[in-house]
Amino acid sequence: MFIIFIVTIAMILLFNACILAALKLEFKSQAVKNAIFKTLGYRFTERYKRVFVFLIFSFFISLAVSFVLYIKNYNFGAFYIIAANLFTSVNIMIISVVFIKNYESKCIVNV
């Protein structure tokens, strides 16, 4: 049981590292476009639509991986699936808010 807990924590940390790297690349590649859209008056959700779709997609991937682990190993409880997905969702939201705040506060010339 303790091994399953350690593997779950390791998977959550690895997943968060992958999401962090992907978001970093996404924001760097779309920084100029988002700055232009901000200048032209596009709404917040229109500027960051790709990021939101990516975050929703990553949440469903983590949910699918959790259910596969639940099916393969019956000792893996449903409580751990819910807790791990909530923890991962909160982490993803915090990471995305930090990235969005960072890029929204930058001067357009510095992008």
Q: What is the pLDDT of residue 27?
A: 82
Q: What is the pLDDT of residue 76?
A: 63
What's the rounded Cα separation, in Å, for the pair 86 and 59?
9
Taking the model in full, what pTM does it have?
0.66
Diameter of the chain measured on Cα atoms: 55
Q: What is the pLDDT of residue 52?
A: 85
Q: Residues 54-92: pLDDT tens digits?
A: 888 878 887 887 778 777 776 667 777 777 778 778 888
Taking each helix axis from N to C terminus, what angle separates 31-40 and 2-29, rounded to the nearest 10 degrees? Answer: 60
What number of other Cβ atoms are within 10 A of residue 49's Cβ?
12
Q: Residues 33-49: pLDDT tens digits?
A: 888 888 888 888 888 88
What's the rounded Cα separation, in Å, for the pair 55 and 92?
7
